[in-house]
Homo-oligomer: A and B are copies of this chain.
Amino acid sequence: MSHNTFGHLFRVTTWGESHGPAIGCVVDGCPPGIRFTRAEIQAELDRRRPGQSRFVTQRREPDEVKILSGVMEEGDGLVTTGTPVSMMIENVDQRSKDYGDIAERYRPGHADYTYEMKYGLRDYRGGGRSSARETAMRVAAGALARKVLPDVVIRGALVAMGEKRIDRANWDWDFVKDPENPFFTPDPASVPVFAEYLDGIRKAGSSVGAVIEVVAEGVPAGLGAPIYGKLDQDICAYLMSINAVKGVEVGNGFEAARIRGEENADEMRAGNDGRPRFLSNNAGGILGGISTGQPIVARFAVKPTSSILTPRRSVDRGGAEVDVVTKGRHDPCVGIRAVPIGEAMVACAIADHYLRHRGQTGRG
């Protein structure tokens, strides 16, 4: 990854700010002959769209994706031609806004100060590239990545919100996509708990973080590389590239550091298909940087948004000490919407490794 591009063979470049006329991405290196519909891309985008419950920002963004290149029409759908697929979403909710106050103050926990240190100027109009809006294009690219991996199922779920966490014994993937589930939680019993907790956070003008787990099933064994191109490393880098993510782990992650070697190593028995059958999955489906064929499991931690009503101490560009309060709409838990984003990034990482593996070895 460098600048605003990620991937080696399945390469995604995103561009755009929430306050500009549009945001977009270019997916370069997508295999030719991939069949999909605009509606399939749109459906993924709709999953991360704000304004779907009282727990996420009411900012209305229809997020209607346009596909500008790299495809031909075929029947009712589209087929990739092998050339760059450009996708774009126009920003329709660009209210003219008085940024005057924010333009001169460094909001604590935001990138205001660091942007200015980096670029020598201040683009005060929204979060710049760190805006949550940018993540829409990751989801669009991820929707295409899924099509490159037809036999792989990639699903995410929220497993912790602030001080509350799910009971993994209740895990139900179907419930994650239940329209009555505003949290992408896999544990039905957690919904009232999270709802009450988050209502409290919201009323207090506060915010809270979350932990998201993404699971990829059906990934063939052999993807990845031993060290600098480890599949887990790339998955973690892709997840860390999401705004507000502070930690990532694969398999049992940090827990691995606590337990013993004989507990941690996944034992094997003969499988019915002539391949080893693993008796556990502490490794999260990856050993030595290479997929084992077991489900790939990754988790990432999203920090609480710093856009809160509680006044926080800061300084302004002139060096004067000020208090900062973030007014206006915001999400009390931005981590909720991170679920489809995490899925998309995992899909892109695996798609890239799938093509790289095929290139180097001729298999896959």
B266–A20 touching, CB < 8 Å: no
B4–A28 touching, CB < 8 Å: yes
Is A92 interfacial (CB-CB < 8 Å)?
no
A28–B11 touching, CB < 8 Å: no
B261–A252 touching, CB < 8 Å: no
Provide the bound-state CA to CA distance between A153 and B208, in Å. Answer: 33
Residues of B within 8 A of A279 (CB): 313
Residues of B within 8 A of A254 (CB): 211, 246-247, 249, 254, 301
Provide the bound-state CA to CA distance between A106 and B265, in Å. Answer: 12
Please tell me which one of the listed residues B6, B118, B234, B267 contacts residue A361 in the complex, with CB atoms under 8 A apart.
Answer: B118
Please tell me which one of the listed residues B5, B118, B248, B355 contacts residue A11 in the complex, with CB atoms under 8 A apart.
Answer: B5
Please tell me which one of the listed residues B253, B262, B315 contacts residue A268 in the complex, with CB atoms under 8 A apart.
Answer: B315
A1–B229 touching, CB < 8 Å: yes
State which residues 52-83 of A face B: CB under 8 Å: 66, 68-70, 72, 79, 81-83
Least distance between A22 CB and chain B CB atoms (Å):
5
Least distance between A287 CB and chain B CB atoms (Å):
5
A15–B267 touching, CB < 8 Å: no
Residues of B within 8 A of A225 (CB): 3-4, 118
One complex includes copies of this chain to the number of 4
Q: Which 7 A-B pairs have the closest CB atoms?
A: A111-B288, A359-B359, A109-B265, A247-B249, A207-B261, A114-B290, A209-B257
Point out which of A23, A305, A358 has the most chain B C-beta atoms below 10 A from its C-beta. Answer: A358
A301–B83 touching, CB < 8 Å: no
A304–B259 touching, CB < 8 Å: yes
B241–A128 touching, CB < 8 Å: no
Is A230 interfacial (CB-CB < 8 Å)?
yes
Please tell me which one of the listed residues B72, B134, B220, B306 contacts residue A227 in the complex, with CB atoms under 8 A apart.
Answer: B134
Given contacts A83-B226, A109-B265, contact A26 B9 (CB under 8 A): no
A114–B287 touching, CB < 8 Å: yes
Given contacts A129-B227, A359-B358, contact A257 B160 (CB under 8 A): yes
Given contacts A79-B121, A258-B209, contact A68 B32 (CB under 8 A): no
Residues of B within 8 A of A291 (CB): 114, 117
Provide the bound-state CA to CA distance between A142 and B285, in Å. Answer: 30
- Could you show 20 A-B contacts with beta carbons less than 8 Å apart? A1-B237, A20-B69, A21-B68, A82-B119, A82-B121, A82-B360, A82-B361, A113-B287, A128-B288, A129-B226, A130-B226, A237-B237, A246-B257, A247-B247, A256-B301, A261-B306, A262-B308, A269-B321, A359-B359, A359-B360
Please tell me which one of the listed residues B5, B31, B246 contacts residue A251 in the complex, with CB atoms under 8 A apart.
Answer: B246
Is A314 interfacial (CB-CB < 8 Å)?
yes
Least distance between A302 CB and chain B CB atoms (Å):
6
Provide the bound-state CA to CA distance between A245 and B165, in Å. Answer: 25
Residues of B within 8 A of A32 (CB): 118-121, 360-361
Is A33 interfacial (CB-CB < 8 Å)?
yes
Is A2 interfacial (CB-CB < 8 Å)?
yes
Contact mask for chain A residues 203-230; partner B; CB cutoff 8 A; 1 contact, 0 none: 0001111110000000011111111111
B360–A108 touching, CB < 8 Å: no
B21–A11 touching, CB < 8 Å: no
Is A320 interfacial (CB-CB < 8 Å)?
yes
Is A243 interfacial (CB-CB < 8 Å)?
yes
